[in-house]
Amino acid sequence: MKKLALLFAIVLAPYFAMAQAKAPAFNWNETEHDFGKIKKGVPVTTTFSYANVGKAPLSVSDVKASCGCTVPEYTKDVVAPGKSGTVKATFNAANVGTFLKSITVTSNVEGGPVILTIKGEVIE
């Protein structure tokens, strides 16, 4: 039985390696942005850029913010290998103090969703 399992592992390993090599892949310019000190009630925006460094088209299916104070926008077109896209996040603070918010990017990239974060301190 062990020999059979080893045989399957040897035979199937190249198949899985090639499947991963053909998959789309993110290369982000950054995954965390620090706004520093910002004024309460004054929206701030940052843009997270990415390149598809994989061998297959990359498709972002959904982008969700952790709260209603952050509004995401994103490239909805399929991103070909070697091309790039963006996720823009606009934050409008209603409360004074520090903040840490997340933006979840769901796509066809292996490894599950990517979490982008924004942080800073809101002042009067």
Q: Count up the domains in the chain and report the number.
A: 1
- pTM given for the model: 0.81
For residue 56, the enclosing domain spans 2-123
| Nearest of 54, 56, 66, 59 to residue 100 by alpha carbon | 66
CATH number for the domain harbouring residue 119: 2.60.40.10
Convert 36-73 to b/e letters by CB count within 10 Å (16 or more is b): eebeeeeebebebebbbebebebbbeebebeeeebebe
**What is the Cα–Cα distance from 40 to 51, expressed in whole angstroms?**
33
Along the 124 residues of the chain, how does pLDDT read in single tens digits?
555 444 444 444 444 444 445 899 999 999 999 999 999 999 999 999 999 999 999 999 999 999 999 999 999 999 999 999 999 999 999 999 999 999 999 999 999 999 999 999 999 9
Name the residue with tokens 């926008």. 73
